[in-house]
Amino acid sequence: MRAVVLVLIATLSIFPTDGMAQRTPSPALRAVFVSEALGGVVGAAIGYLALSQTIPGCLGEHDLVSCQEGVPGPAVAGAAALATAGVVIVGRSRGTNPSVVGAAIGSIAGSVAAVGLDYLIRREMRAEQGLATATFTVSLSQGLLAAATSRLFSNMRRTSH
């Protein structure tokens, strides 16, 4: 029951309020975010897949918690580093002026979100999670949050000048 409530709250939080609806982003801004997010998602997926295969603790059930050897754990930390790199490389190649600090902070926050989602899926929903699902969880949470905070920091930097 708690899992259903958490998923419902998370779903409702993505719908805009009246004040937010008036400030919809331009198509160009959406394209910038989507391109940086794709770079982050692909980078995180490559990092998690590569490192989870080389860490003995990750060869079992492929859940994020078993891959934790210290905090945040090598597989998740590697995915965070490559998510940051993906956002920055794609952003710079498209001339979007991404924030390296913002992308790094977002990918770290994405690591925490990924571990939380993994716990929710495994413990609360009692669902099994294989390598593909774990990779999907890590790459989406890290890639999207890295791109979002990169855009946020980049916009803050631009408006402060």
Any domain includes 156: yes
Q: For the chain, how many structural domains are there in total?
A: 1
The band of 9, judged by pLDDT with boundaries at 50, 70 and 90, is low
Token representation of residue 83: 């998510």
Any domain includes 18: no
CB 102 within 8 A of CB 37: no
- pLDDT score of 33: 85
- pLDDT score of 134: 79
Please tell me the distance from the alpha carbon of residue 74 to that of residue 68, in angstroms, as a whole number: 7
Any domain includes 29: no
Any domain includes 8: no
| For residues 34-54, average pLDDT | 88
DSSP code of residue 22: T
- pLDDT score of 19: 47
Tens of pLDDT, residue by residue over 93-131, are 998 889 999 999 999 999 888 888 877 877 777 777 677
Q: Is 97 exposed, middle or buried (0-12, 13-18, 19+ CB in 10 A)?
A: middle
Tens of pLDDT, residue by residue over 47-96, are 888 877 777 666 555 556 556 554 456 777 888 899 999 999 999 999 88
- pLDDT score of 27: 72
The band of 161, judged by pLDDT with boundaries at 50, 70 and 90, is low
Any domain includes 62: yes
Instruction: Point out the least confidently predicted range of 3-7, 37-41, 53-57, 150-154.
Output: 3-7
Any domain includes 75: yes
Show the domain range for 118: 35-160
| For residues 11-40, average pLDDT | 68
Any domain includes 15: no
pTM of the model: 0.76
Any domain includes 138: yes
